[in-house]
Structure 1
Amino acid sequence: MHTDTDRCVRAVQSKDARFDGWFFTAVRTTGIYCRPSCPVVPPKPQNMTFHPSAAACQQAGYRACKRCRPDTSPGSPEWNHRADLVARAMRLIGDGAVDREGVPGLARRLGYSERQIERQLRAELGAGPLALARAQRAQTARLLIETTPLPMAEITFAAGFSSIRSFNDTVQEVFALSPTELRSRGARRTGATTSAGTITLRLPFRAPFHPDNLFGHLAATAVPGIEEWRGGAYRRTLRLPHGPGVVALTPLPDHIGCRLTLTDLRDLPVATSRCRRMLDLDADPEAVDDRLRADPLLAPLVDKAPGRRVPRTTDEAEFAVRAVLGQQVSTAAARTHAARLVTAYGEQVEDPEGGLTHLFPTPEALSGLDPESLALPRSRRTTLLTLVRALAEGELTLGVESDWDRAREQLMALPGFGPWTVETIAMRALGDPDAFIPGDLGIRRAAAGLGLPSTPAALTARAAAWRPWRAYAVQYLWATDDHAINHLPAPDA
């Protein structure tokens, strides 16, 4: 979008927050870059240039605005609804792949050469993978500086910097403030609370945002031991690169409250990225709802509760296992089956607040389970064991870097996998916004009640007009049923 100068100028002049994260405005006369909704008086159009990423602005010599703090804007929706190389690379960079594995590791996981990745990222984002990872490190550093009392030396390595010098230089270059000055300003602004190993922060989103089906789904399907709804917050354990973590997510009017308890602060950007992905916070609800409103039978559902999100996951392999356990059984039965696996094979963790006891077991831990111990039909035991072995041996990859079409083909090749299971995994684990499950009983009932075609083939034909947002149409259709997944639980539920 940053190449459409007239449209960008209009967005900046109207301070339109819908475009935050889509592009960044660099101001030649001041040497700063801003989000489109920056509250200051807009500069003259001839003094603006537009960039596709914060990293591109930084590479061009601009520093972040101290008023609008562009590094805190929601991420670009582009990386959520695309499955090409650039989108997959950006999802991996957001998940910390460059910091952990370097550019060679990024290239290996994507199946492309380093040169190809560098060239495509520069062409679309104006910066290569190292610069994009550096911009993410700067954002993490700012967050830790402003919201924790940690010594700067600890923040240096927690944010992913290799030396205190590079940490100081980056903070000064990006924010035009020293780390000490940034902490002084942040202490006055944020008022955030931090205890040992716990960080409280705000996760922004684009309005409108309707949390009922999102948190209702997560709470209604919560597996005891790894998930719970308590005090108005969805809590769950997280398997992170440097140790387990626990997160509590609370829906609030203008943001999501996020409280993270981490074994190692180096996992802060990864944990934050995975929570944003699970809650679909980088979606573009205006684009989604405008497309779905064009269907007169869907329009009333959208107008009643605009801004629905797709509930996703923090662990793709975990969700695939749970999808198999949920085949042709009730929500309660699926939770019971999953809880048994958690108790028997999950790694135990300590929850400072109590209630959560385990991480969900890895495919490696599950690949050796005794099929006779599973209270499942024999065919489903075969399906589950085949899935976990394929995941454990690397024959099947269900990560943020996955090619959606290739993953579908691999899943369909496994015994016991049909369109419902594959599309459910595509929607909630892979994150494909166009995944569609016309054979789902709830979808067919909703379609019949609205006057839409109720047979899978006819409904698929009608839904072609909803593309590329059919996964969101699924959420609106599901919401016509009075099921617990469609209601925000009471705080004490």
Structure 2
Amino acid sequence: MHTDTESCVRAVQAKDARFDGVFFTAVLTTGIYCRPSCPVVPPKPRNMRFYPSAAACQQAGYRACKRCRPDTTPGSPQWNHRADLVARAMRLVADGIVDREGVTGLATRLGYSARQVERQLLAELGAGPLALARAQRAQTARILIETTELPMAEIAFAAGFASIRTFNDTVREVYALAPGELRTRATATRATATRATATRAARTPGRTEAGTPGVLSLRLPFRAPLNPSNLFGHLAATAVPGVEEWRDGAYRRTLRLPHGPGVVALTPAPDHIGCRLALTDQRDLTVAISRCRRLLDLDADPVAVDEQLRTDELLAPLVDKAPGRRVPRTVDEPEFAVRAVLGQQVSTAAARTHAARLVRAHGEPVDDPEGGLTHLFPSPEALAALDPESLALPRSRRTTLTTLVRQLADSTLKLGPDSDWDEARARLTALPGFGPWTVEVIAMRALGDPDAFLPTDLGIRRAAQGLGLPSTPAAFTARAAAWRPWRAYAVQYLWATDDHPINHLPA
């Protein structure tokens, strides 16, 4: 997109928010970069330069606009519907792999050399993995500076910087303000907002909860429209007791993070998702935000998805009735694979019961002073050690589950943001008890493939029959070819024709 100068100029002049995160506008005369929807008067086209990432702008010497805060935009939707090297690398960078394992670790996970990864990222994004990780560290640092009272030294290391000097230099370079000045500015903004109207106050970037040390309240942006009914309805209706719950209008769950457990509460709002995080270690902020965004599919491009689905005259009324449906995903891919097996050929309630038994027996206890969460979902390593005879499942299902968790535990099967979708499907299909439905539901919700399709699902078949779509899986799949590459979103619209709790926000 950023190479199409004419289209980029039109988007900037129209202040089109649909392109926020897709490309960034750098201004030669001011030395700043902005999101396309920046509210300031657009510069003259001859002074605009366009880049594919915030990291590329920073690497070219531009600093972030203080008005539109381009570093806080939703991520590029490209990484959602691709499974090539660059897309997988970007998902891993967002998950904090470079900070934890370095460029070598990133390359190893992708199965390429560090030089190959560097070359591919530079070619498409104008920045290598170190620059991309640096931009992400800068954003994390800004969040912590503006929303907490942590000392700057603690923020530096929590954001992933190797030294306080590097932290100071990066913040000054990216934001044209020293860390202390950034905090003073944010404090003044909050004080002004507190005295202003509630609408003005809602624009503040977030804060530490008063009297609740270590709890952060943030806003997660998204591209409009977003329909929360099936998104939060699905998560609430399938919530595993002890790991997930719906409480006070928020979906809450425990998180397994690199430096310790966390708890998140996610609340739908008209223009953002409220995100309240309690972390054991502040260094996990970046990865926690990344996983929450992935869970709620917040980097999707609903306009592109819905436009494609509207071309089908049978789907168009469903899209027009409730546009902006997202695919509910997961914060833990192995966890979801286990739950998919537990949900084979049983009701939602039965699947929750089976999962709750595993949690009580093998999950890791956590503290949740504000709710009823008690455990992390069991890791594959913990489940690999269980006695199959202790499982209240049919013998064939026990074999399916135990084979799955053993392969997850020894890394024979890898499910994560770096997964190759086709390879993961092939490995899942080779496991005993894994039919097309189980493989595709894991591809849709764990791997994040936007084109995953469930033609044999009972709810989908009922919806298809009601709409006059073909009834046999082969004919239905052929008919759905026109929906590609967004068939997973078509599944959400089809599911929503049924009056099931997964399609409604809890009361």
Considering the TM-score relative to the shorter chain, is it more than 0.5? yes
- 1:262 to 2:282 alignment: no
Match of 2:58 in 1: 58
- Listed one character per residue, the Cα deviations across residues 158-203 of structure 1 (whole Å, up to 9, x for unaligned) are 0000111000000000000011111112121426233311100000
Counterpart in the other structure of 1:466: 483
Letter of the structure 1 residue corresponding to residue 207 of structure 2: A
The aligned runs of 1:29-40 (5 Å cut-off) are 29-40=29-40
Displacement, 1:307? Answer: 0.2
Q: Which residue of 2 aligns with 1:23?
A: 23
- Matching residue within 430, 434, 450 for 2:467: 450
1:465 to partner: Cα distance: 0.3
Distance 2:369 2:254 in 1: 12
Letter in 2 for 1:185: R
What is the DSSP-based 3-state SS (H/G/I as helix, E as strand, rest coil) of the residue aligned with 1:99?
helix
For residues 36-435 of structure 1, the aligned pairs below 5 Å read 36-187=36-187, 188-189=189-190, 190=204, 192-194=207-209, 195-435=212-452
C-alpha distance after superposition, 1:409-428 (max 9, x if no partner): 00000000000000000000
Normalising to structure 2: TM-score of the pair?
0.96
Letter in 2 for 1:159: A
Q: Distance between the aligned counterparts of 1:450 and 1:186, measured in 2?
A: 52
Show CA shifts across 1:200-232 (max 9, x none): 000000001100000000000000000000000
Equivalent pairs, count: 490
TM-score, reference length from structure 1: 0.99
What is residue 195 of structure 2 aligned with on the other side? none
CA distance in 2, matches of 1:456, 1:441: 11
TM-superposition CA deviations, 1:256-294 (whole Å, max 9, x none): 000000000000000000000000000000000000000
Alpha-carbon shift at residue 455 of structure 1 (Å): 1.2
d(CA) in 2 for partners of 1:393 and 1:59? 39
Secondary structure of the 2:370 match is coil
- TM-superposed CA distance for 1:352, in Å, is 2.2
The CA deviation at 1:454 is 1.6
Helix, strand or coil for the counterpart of 1:171?
A: helix
Distance 1:221 1:134 in 2: 37
Q: CA deviation at 1:354?
A: 3.0
Cα deviation for residue 370 of structure 1 reads 1.0
Give, as a single letter, the amino acid of the residue that structure 2 aligns with 1:309: R
| Equivalent residues of 2:496, 2:503 under 8 A apart | yes
CA distance in structure 2 between the partners assigned to 1:354 and 1:233 by the alignment: 11
* Matches of 2:218 and 2:165, distance apart in 1: 27
Which secondary structure state, in structure 2, belongs to the residue aligned with residue 40 of structure 1? coil
What secondary structure sits across from 1:341 in the alignment? helix
Contact map agreement 2:208 2:214 (CA 8 A) in 1: no
Structure 2 distance, partners of 1:193, 1:399, is 31
Deviations 1:99-157 (A, max 9, x none): 00000000110000000000000000000000000000000000000000111011010
After TM superposition, give the deviation of residue 368 of structure 1 in Å.
1.4
Letter in 1 for 2:489: Y
Q: How far apart, CA to CA, are the structure 2 residues paired with 1:354 and 1:19?
A: 38
Counterpart residue number, 2:505: 488
Distance in 2 (CA, whole Å) between partners of 1:184 and 1:450 is: 58
Q: 1:459 Cα deviation (Å)?
A: 0.7
1:421-473 CA distance string (max 9 Å, x none): 00000000000000000000000000010011121111100000000000000
Aligned residues: CA RMSD: 0.6
Q: Residue 323 of structure 1 aligns to which amino acid in structure 2?
A: A
Which 5+ residue runs of structure 2 have no aligned equivalent? 191-203
Contact residue 56 and residue 125 of structure 2 kept, 8 A: yes
Counterpart code for 1:449: G
1:274-325 CA-to-partner distances (Å, cap 9, x unmatched) read: 0000000000000000000000000000000000000000000000000000
CA distance in 1, matches of 2:163, 2:106: 22
- Rounded to whole Å, the distance in 1 between the matches of 2:443 and 2:17 is 30
SS in 2 for 1:485: helix
Moved beyond 4 Å, runs of 4+: none
SS of the counterpart of 2:266?
strand
What letter corresponds to residue 406 of structure 1 in structure 2? E
Structure 1: 5+ residue stretches without partners: none
Question: What amino acid does structure 2 have at the position aligned with 1:30?
Answer: T
Q: Which secondary structure does the structure 1 equivalent of 2:136 belong to?
A: helix
Contact 2:329 2:446 in 1 (8 A): yes
SS of structure 2 residue aligned to 1:428: helix
Aligned residue for 2:364, secondary structure, equals coil
1:478 paired with 2:478, answer no
- Match of 1:192, SS? strand
Distance 1:397 1:33 in 2: 38
Q: Which amino acid aligns with 1:345?
A: H
